Structures are given as C-alpha cells and as structure tokens.
Chains A and B, each alone.
Chain A
Amino acid sequence: MAGIVGSKLGMAGKAAHRPILSEPRWIRVLLTTIALGFLAFFLVLPIAMVLAQALKKGFAFYLHSLSDPDALSAIRLTLIVAAVSVPLNLLFGLAASWSITKFDFWGKKFLITLIDLPFSVSPVISGLIFVLLFGAQGVLGQWLGEHNIKIIFSVPGIILATLFVTFPFVARELIPLMQSQGNEEEYAAVTLGANGWQTFWRVTLPNIKWGLLYGVILCNARAMGEFGAVSVVSGHIRGLTNTIPLHVEILYNEYNFTAAFAVASILMLLAFVTLILKHWVEWRAEQEATQAEREAGVS
C-alpha cells in the first residue's frame, strides 16, 4: 500500500520536474552519440567480427568446426558443468538468502560479506585455491591420490571451480528481494498452521520466482562462459577437460582462427539467448507489478 502510494507520488514528482531537468538539444544529441558510438565500437563491432571470422571459409567449414569431436566434447562438458553447478547454486542461493532474510543468527553479517567473495577475487585465484587444496602437491592431494580420486585436471575440479565462481548470482538476486518483501506473509502462513515446508512452497517461492529465475539465468551464463578459474584446474586435455571457452583458446593459439571463431559463436549465441531470457523475465516481473499497481489504482 505504502509502496504504491510512494511510487505514484514519485511519478507525479518526475512529471512535474521534466521541463526543468530537460537539457539543451545539443547536449542530448552529444550524450546519445557518445553512448551509441561506444556501444557500436565495443559491442556491435566485435560481435560482427566474430560472426564474419566464423563464416569466413563458408558455412560448410563452420558446421565442420562445430561437429569436430573435440568441439563436441567441449560443448558436452560445458553443458554438464552447467547442469551440475546451476542447480547446486540454486539450492545454495535459496538456502543462503532464506536464512539471511528470515532468521537472525550469529555470523550473519559475515556470511553476507562472504557471499560476495567470488566477485571480488580474480577467477585465476579461485582456480588456484582448488589446485592448492586438491592438486598433487596440495593439502589433500596425497590422500586423494591414495584413494585414486582425481579432482584437479578432471571434471570434478572444473565443476568445483565453476561452483565457486558462480555461487553469488542467485543469492545476490534474492537477498534484496526477500528483504524488501519482509516476513509478514510467512508469519501469516505459520499462524494459519502451515509448517516450514508449506510456507516455503506456497508463500515464499511464488513471491520470489522471477528474481530466482533471473539469478539462475545469470548464473548459467557465467557457468558456461567461465574461463579463468576453469583454465587453472582443467589442464586443457583435449576431448576430456576442455570447456567451450578453453577450446576456443586452444584453437586460437593454434592459429586456427576460423574454427576458434566458429566455436566462439556458440558462446555468443548463448549470450544472446541469455539476454533475451533476462529481458523476458524482467518484462514479466514488471508486468505483474504494474498490473497489480494499476488494478490497485482503479479500485
């Protein structure tokens, strides 16, 4: 209620101020040109280059580069890594944001700070952490070696590194959302006799679904595109431990530019799909919000 009133007041204020805030024409043109020029140079041009390079030797060669066994194995590994790490991070993100926003516990502030760690640490360092832990010379290396468990230079290591790099995405999306929604509805649910599980599925989850989906999309994009951390732990074994970004690098280093750009175009496609999905989710969430607001205004 208060929020609706607030936003309406906000809108009224904006409308009243528009003539005052409006800049002279030449400033608007200049700023728009700078923004668009920047976008064209740093975004559109590279994308066009990737596509042009990928298709330089014709469409047949493009398809051939993609159906190369090593390329296929890289695509498969990338999908596996995303399929494992995204659901795990979804669970972690839900658990973290649920406990941070719904309960008070000792070390809560510390946990909030810690969640951001992968954002502030260089991905290479993130990879090295796992090498130092699980590598042959690492803390647990000898024990793992004795039990014949391979983590570094193999798929588990890649998944671990990806998990580490991508775990803030869902939590970061949900914490502010859940904080702004408060606990009142959950309190209402428990007074009506709902247990914790019912409260979560019937009340909390429906309220956060768009934020959750948004977080998952971003998490997935990063999981598939991660280079630095994965590069350190993977060992770059062709057909075995190469993800798409690593495979692109190998091809590039071998001066196989056309094939490199062809494989890279898959990542670009993924980026486009992510952007469209992200946009759609934002649009849906906004639609629901404005619809609710409009209806509230009518009645």
Chain B
Amino acid sequence: MSIEVHQVVKKFGNFTALKGISLKIETGELLALLGPSGSGKTTLLRVIAGLEEATGGQVFFLGDDVSSRKVQDRGVGFVFQHYALFRHMTVFDNIAFGLRVRPRDLRPSEEEIAEKVHELLRLVRLDGMATRFPSQLSGGQRQRVALARALAIEPKVLLLDEPFGSLDSKVRKELRQWLRSLHDRLHMTTIFVTHDQEEALEVADRVVVMNEGRIEQMGTPDEVYHKPVNSFVYNFLGNVNLFHCRLEGGKAYIANTPVSIKTGVGPEAQKAKIYIRPHLLEISHEKKDDSFKGVVQFLNSAGAVAKVEVLSEWGEAIQVEVPQERFRILNLQKGEEIYVILKDAKLFNEDYMI
C-alpha cells in the first residue's frame, strides 16, 4: 500500500515537531526515517499510524485521506521502541491479541487463531516460546514477539519505531539483516525510524534524512551517502573532518594550503567549510598536491581500518582512516611529521549546527 504524507505539521504547545513534511512511500518499499533525536522522525511515524493527531496536513493510504481515521481503523502494524508487550500475557496471548479483539463476525475461531500464532512464531523463529511471558525473553526475542504481534492483524503497513534501539550491537546487526530478508519475503510497505545511519543505509531502499522537523534529503542509501545535498546530511551520515577555508581564484585555501575542490564551488573570497570523511584522506611521507603537513598524535590499528589522529600545521586534530595494508607500509610513529592528502573533499557554504 502506498502512503503519502502531505504538508504535515505537528505542534506540541509552542514546540513545532514537524514543520510541513511531505513525502511519498511506494507500495512494498522499505523506508528509513533517519535523524538525530528531536528531529521529529518518531512523531512523523506516530502521525502516520494515527497515534498522534497532526496539527495540519493530510496522510493518504492508497490515495484515501486517512487523517481523521482512528488508529484502530488504519490497519497499521506498529512496533514500539520498547516493545510494549503485554506483560501479563504469554507470548501466545500477545500475538493473538489483535485477532481476539476483533468484532465477533470478523473474529477467527480459536483454532484458526492458534494456527496463525504458530505460523507467526515460526516466521520470527520463536517456535516453542508460546507459553513464555515477556519477562522471560531476551531483548531480541521480545522485539520479534512485538513484530509477530504487529503482523498478526495482517497490516497493510508496518511501522517500526527504533526497532533495534535498545539491543546490543551484535543482536542489532543480526536482527536488521533478518528484517531486510523478512521484508524481501513479505513485501509489505515498511517504514522504520532510526538514529543509526549505518542501520538506515544498510537496510532501507530509501532513506529520509530529517532534522529539526524538516526533511533534509530523500534518496537511496547511495544517493544520500555519496551526494549529500548539504553539510548536515554529510555530517550525519558518517564521521567527518571539518576545515574552515576561504575561496580565492577558483581554489580553496585551508590556512595557506591551496586545495582543489571538485564539487560545489561557491562565490569568490568567501569563507566556507570543507567536509571530508576520514577514509578520503591519505597519509604520505612526501609532499604532494592538495596536501598539508601534520604530526601523528594517536594510532589505533584495532579494527577493519587503522585510525590515525593527526595534528595539522594550523593546530587542529584531524581523523584519518588508513587501510591496514597501507598502514603497515607507512610504519607510522607517534610524533612523526607526515603529509595529509585530500582526495575528495565536499564544500558547503551554509552554516549548520550539529
């Protein structure tokens, strides 16, 4: 089912959580709402679900305006951040809840319900857990019960609020890959909220980057990662180094080092900011084009890439990520003088507070 959000505004007293959000989600799409806390992503999800009433604007399901429709009648499966499992009910009763509260003429028989619940338990790989109580389950298991409970009512849309937010990192990674494969099987329109860029980029078909109640950018993970429209998106989607520079004669100067900028050239003689990801910097023992001098401060080679902190000639700490192989060849020492080369810098004129 396709969803369209049109100019949605949500105010809480004097605070405006959503400042006119418009977006369209295609049938069967897996969409991530990504943003820092307070960006309005959860509020948007709750407005779509009907748990929160929008101050202005409309929500359409398959072209129908559902803005004034109650939660119960929207047919959405909602998975809450802290699961919100019914603590006094077993896993079985939790999952069966949505079917048992149906009006009598639409309610399946107890046998049908039992069959459905066991089918869902198999789907979320929790067979044999039917008689447990939520308190007897691990975080990851609770999350999957919440998902099975939401799926039991056969929703047309699945909405997940920070689905992996309170799990430890290993379980998180497993579960998000599982969610992706589940989505590929069920093809249900799914929206999930996250503040974890890695999660959004890895799982979603499309990512909506939000900040302060507005959408900053919408696009495929590739688009938002490689073609960020502004410094906020660039900043939020990964670690960055920030350089203050001035523009002169088609060149950018960081301190007194001229560097060539490939994308986004702003007006002359203006102060601007250059952002560059740690893995797009290179370390060399010799001076090259677009390079500046620095001193190695810290070395950390544990992990997939080696992390090096360099103190630049103008006194700023810069993070560089070096592939392990290159790191071994460089054989860096603390306090050593080296050159840092800028490979692909992004220049933004506007000011964003992160």
> From residue 82 to 100 of chain B, which have CB atoms closer than 8 A to chain A?
82, 84-88, 97-98
Q: Contact: A187 with B84, CB < 8 Å?
A: yes
Tell me the minimal C-beta distance from A187 to chain B in angstroms: 6
Q: A292-B87, A295-B133, A295-B135 are in contact. Are A194 and B51 (CB under 8 A)?
A: no
Q: Which residue of chain B is the closest to A194 with respect to CB atoms? A: B101
Task: Confirm or deny: A299 has a beta carbon within 8 angstroms of a beta carbon on chain B.
Answer: yes
Q: Contact: A184 with B84, CB < 8 Å?
A: yes
User: Complex: how many Å from CA A203 to CA B146?
Assistant: 15
User: Complex: how many Å from CA A193 to CA B49?
Assistant: 12
Task: Confirm or deny: A206 has a beta carbon within 8 angstroms of a beta carbon on chain B.
Answer: yes
Tell me the minimal C-beta distance from B120 to chain A in angstroms: 13
Contact of B135 among A191, A198, A296 (CB under 8 A): A296
Task: Confirm or deny: B169 has a beta carbon within 8 angstroms of a beta carbon on chain A.
Answer: no
Which residues does chain A contribute within 8 Å of B149, judged by CB atoms? 188, 192
Task: Confirm or deny: B138 has a beta carbon within 8 angstroms of a beta carbon on chain A.
Answer: yes
User: Complex: how many Å from CA A292 to CA B86?
Assistant: 13
> From residue 179 to 206 of chain A, which have CB atoms closer than 8 A to chain B?
184-185, 187-195, 198, 202-203, 206
Which residues does chain A contribute within 8 Å of B150, judged by CB atoms? 191-192
User: Complex: how many Å from CA A238 to CA B152?
Assistant: 64
Contact of B51 among A2, A185, A187, A292 (CB under 8 A): A187
Task: Confirm or deny: A293 has a beta carbon within 8 angstroms of a beta carbon on chain B.
Answer: yes
> From residue 75 to 117 of chain A, which have CB atoms closer than 8 A to chain B?
none
Task: Confirm or deny: B139 has a beta carbon within 8 angstroms of a beta carbon on chain A.
Answer: yes
Q: A187-B51, A206-B88, A299-B136 are in contact. Are A193 and B72 (CB under 8 A)?
A: yes
User: Complex: how many Å from CA A271 to CA B152?
Assistant: 49
Q: A194-B72, A194-B101, A202-B97 are in contact. Are A185 and B137 (CB under 8 A)?
A: no
Task: Confirm or deny: A274 has a beta carbon within 8 angstroms of a beta carbon on chain B.
Answer: no
User: Complex: how many Å from CA A220 to CA B137?
Assistant: 39
- Contact count band on A: 20 to 34
Q: Contact: A192 with B138, CB < 8 Å?
A: no
> From residue 31 to 81 of chain B, which have CB atoms closer than 8 A to chain A?
49, 51, 70-72, 76-78, 80
Which residues does chain B contribute within 8 Å of A190, judged by CB atoms? 51, 70-72
Task: Confirm or deny: A1 has a beta carbon within 8 angstroms of a beta carbon on chain B.
Answer: yes
Q: A1-B82, A207-B87 are in contact. Are A193 and B137 (CB under 8 A)?
A: no
Tell me the minimal C-beta distance from A4 to chain B in angstroms: 8
Q: Contact: B49 with A191, CB < 8 Å?
A: yes
Which residues does chain B contribute within 8 Å of A193, judged by CB atoms? 72, 98, 101-102, 153
Contact of A192 among B82, B101, B135 (CB under 8 A): B101
Tell me the minimal C-beta distance from A104 to chain B in angstroms: 10
Task: Confirm or deny: B166 has a beta carbon within 8 angstroms of a beta carbon on chain A.
Answer: yes
- Contact count band on B: 20 to 34
Contact pattern, B 92-128, Cβ under 8 Å of A = 1, otherwise 0: 0000011001100000000000000000000000000
Q: Which residue of chain B is the closest to A181 with respect to CB atoms? A: B87
User: Complex: how many Å from CA A202 to CA B86?
Assistant: 9
Q: Contact: A202 with B135, CB < 8 Å?
A: no
Contact pattern, A 129-157, Cβ under 8 Å of B = 1, otherwise 0: 00000000000000000000000000000
Q: A190-B71, A192-B101, A193-B102 are in contact. Are A1 and B136 (CB under 8 A)?
A: no
Q: Contact: A188 with B84, CB < 8 Å?
A: yes
Q: A190-B71, A195-B72 are in contact. Are A184 and B82 (CB under 8 A)?
A: yes
Q: Contact: A293 with B135, CB < 8 Å?
A: yes
User: Complex: how many Å from CA A185 to CA B149?
Assistant: 12
User: Complex: how many Å from CA A84 to CA B270?
Assistant: 81
Q: Contact: B139 with A1, CB < 8 Å?
A: yes
Measuring CB to CB, which residues of chain A are less than 8 angstroms from any residue of chain B?
A: 1-2, 184-185, 187-195, 198, 202-203, 206-207, 292-293, 295-296, 298-299
Measuring CB to CB, which residues of chain B are less than 8 angstroms from any residue of chain A?
A: 49, 51, 70-72, 76-78, 80, 82, 84-88, 97-98, 101-102, 133, 135-139, 146, 149-150, 152-153, 166
The 3 A-B pairs of least Cβ separation, nearest first, read A192-B98, A292-B135, A184-B84
12 additional contacts (CB under 8 A) given A185-B85, A188-B146: A184-B82, A187-B80, A189-B101, A190-B70, A191-B51, A191-B71, A191-B72, A192-B98, A193-B72, A194-B101, A295-B136, A296-B135
A-B contact pairs, 16 of them (CB 8 A): A1-B166, A2-B166, A184-B82, A185-B87, A187-B80, A188-B84, A189-B97, A189-B101, A191-B71, A193-B102, A194-B98, A195-B72, A195-B101, A206-B88, A292-B87, A296-B136
